[in-house]
């Protein structure tokens, strides 16, 4: 009986942990990003672009760390729609925080984008203006 309960608990924790790989990234996303991009990553009307199934986000992975850190002032086109609202940067976030946010978004919702590393984020941040 004890073995069955232990096995059941192990299986449950395995499945629950699999669904929440980037818990810290999700927390940071909810704190810094979800007000504009939505908890579901679908954006906010025509003001802020989606991150869920976003062609811009997926095609510009090497710029995302800089956008999170420094913000974005220029107009962008996401999934065929123009977005002109500036994005504020979060220069208080660490390289680890930024990596966690990117990996959460890359694997959240309908996204299936390759995960990044802290080394890649540091390399990308060296290119920020």
- Six token digits for residue 102: 């990117």
Binning pLDDT at 50, 70 and 90, where does residue 54 land? very high
Which residues, 6+ apart, have CB-to-CB distance to 114 below 8 Å? 106
Nearest-CA neighbor of 110 among 58, 68, 60?
58
For 9, 20, 33, 65, 124, the CA distances from 128, given in Å and listed in that order, are 46, 30, 20, 9, 7
Q: Which two tokens stand for residue 122?
A: 């540091």
Tell whether the model's pLDDT for residue 115 goes beyond 60.
yes
Rounded to an integer, the average pLDDT of 59-82 is: 97
- Under CATH, to which class is 21-125 assigned? mainly alpha
70 neighbors 128 (Cβ within 8 angstroms): yes
Q: What's the predicted TM-score (pTM) here?
A: 0.84
């Amino acid at each position: 009986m004890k073995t069955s309960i232990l096995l059941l608990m192990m299986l449950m924790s395995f499945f629950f942990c699999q669904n929440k790989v980037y818990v810290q990234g999700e927390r940071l996303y909810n704190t810094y990003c979800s007000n504009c991009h939505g908890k579901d990553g679908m954006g906010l009307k025509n003001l802020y672009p989606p991150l869920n199934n976003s062609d811009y986000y997926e095609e510009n992975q090497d710029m995302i760390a800089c956008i999170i850190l420094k913000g974005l002032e220029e107009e962008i086109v996401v999934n065929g729609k123009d977005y002109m609202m500036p994005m504020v940067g979060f220069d208080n976030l660490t390289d680890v925080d930024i990596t966690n946010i990117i990996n959460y978004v890359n694997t959240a919702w309908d996204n299936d984008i390759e995960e990044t590393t802290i080394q890649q984020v540091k390399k990308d941040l060296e290119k920020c203006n």
